Amino acid sequence: MGEKLAGKPVVQSLRENILSRVEKLKENNVTPTLLLIRVGAREDDLSYERSILKNCDLLKIKCNVLELPVTVTMEELTCVFEKANRDQDIHGIMIFRPLPDHIDPEVVRNLIDPEKDIDCMSPINLEKVFEGRSTGFAPCTPKAVIELLNYYEIPLNGANVVVAGRSLVVGKPLAMLLLDENASVTICHSRTKDMPSVTQKADIVVAAIGRAKFMGKEYFSEDSFVVDVGINDDGNGKICGDVHYDEVIENVKALTPPTGGVGLITTTILLQHVVQACEKATNVKKFVTSV
């Protein structure tokens, strides 16, 4: 029976660090503040919003929610970003995606100030991830995977890692973060021939394909460490991963659970980024006042 790689202890350890940083900021009369922009009221967005608000409460981070109608125009959205970018009391901005069809996501990605782009929407932050520069904000889910692997002391230096999935949100940036940790990375996708023969040989496999319980025990070896990023509906209204948990946990070294794994860590990383953005902005403010 493999070890269950739960997200909760990872979150607890991250929270301790974030809380002490928030306390320090508050001692300097600064409250880290996040602006959430929601267009419409999709259930997925509302559920993520509830989780963010709950975590903000725990971490003493202020969170403002701006709800916009689904009919919002590109011009109105541009004004919202311009105002929020200028507002020195807002340190991080996140807009729930996907956006309605009449809003061009490529234009929106360029509206946000990269210094407040805590969810790595801006191409400037994504470019930094691909250049291996840690001065921006990496996407939260790939960063959550790295935090989990580090927390459980799963060695990355020289490890063979397979990332299944090549999206710009998860697979590709994760591959870059793994390279920064000196792993040798292979990326698989829907055109990969005989994926089990590739994943079986890896020390670590990260599943991010968005296919319910797609990867069974034939994808892994008894020495595999497996991280399941997938969040899917199992067809019976229950959440499941990309990996067939019950079958695979019996046959690998360690595996994340379908709930309470990487997803749990992602929101905490988002808020860690708010604090990071706030610390940076505060230093700039101090520098400007002292000149």
Residues that bind ligand NAP (CB under 6 A): 141, 164-167, 169-171, 188-192, 195, 208-211, 214, 229-232, 262-263, 266
Among residues 52, 40, 45, 26, which one has the least CA distance to residue 268? Answer: 52
Give the residue with the Cβ less far from ligand NAP, 92 or 263: 263
User: At closest approach, how far in Å is the CB of 139 from ligand NAP?
Assistant: 8
Give the residue with the Cβ less far from ligand NAP, 18 or 84: 18
Q: Provide the CA 81 distance to its chain's centre, in angstroms.
A: 22
User: At closest approach, how far in Å is the CB of 286 from ligand NAP?
Assistant: 34
Extract the runs of DSSP E, i.e. beta strands, from the chain.
Answer: 3-4, 33-39, 62-68, 92-95, 160-164, 184-188, 204-207, 225-228, 232-233, 239-240, 254-255
Give the residue with the Cβ less far from ligand NAP, 48 or 115: 48
User: At closest approach, how far in Å is the CB of 61 from ligand NAP?
Assistant: 19
Give the residue with the Cβ less far from ligand NAP, 75 or 235: 235
User: At closest approach, how far in Å is the CB of 213 from ligand NAP?
Assistant: 11
Q: Provide the CA 160 distance to its chain's centre, in angstroms.
A: 22
Residues 6+ apart with CB under 8 A from 25: 31, 32, 275, 278, 279, 282
Residues 6+ apart with CB under 8 A from 232: 210, 211, 212, 213, 239, 240, 241, 242
Extract the runs of DSSP E, i.e. beta strands, from 69-118.
Answer: 92-95
Strands 184-188 and 160-164 turn out to be parallel
Closest-approach residue to ligand NAP (CB):
167
User: At closest approach, how far in Å is the CB of 51 from ligand NAP?
Assistant: 10
State whether residue 162 is helix, strand or coil.
strand
What does the alpha-carbon distance between residue 195 and residue 182 come to, in Å, rounded to a whole number? 23
User: At closest approach, how far in Å is the CB of 75 from ligand NAP?
Assistant: 29
State whether residue 63 is helix, strand or coil.
strand
Give the residue with the Cβ less far from ligand NAP, 90 or 188: 188
Give the residue with the Cβ less far from ligand NAP, 84 or 142: 142
Residues 6+ apart with CB under 8 A from 69: 39, 40
Give the residue with the Cβ less far from ligand NAP, 186 or 232: 232
Give the residue with the Cβ less far from ligand NAP, 55 or 141: 141
User: At closest approach, how far in Å is the CB of 214 from ligand NAP?
Assistant: 6
Whether the bond between 98 and the residue before it is cis, its omega within 30 degrees of 0, is yes
**Are 63 and 34 in contact, with CB atoms under 8 Å apart?**
yes
User: At closest approach, how far in Å is the CB of 39 from ligand NAP?
Assistant: 19
What does the alpha-carbon distance between residue 149 and residue 200 come to, in Å, rounded to a whole number? 19
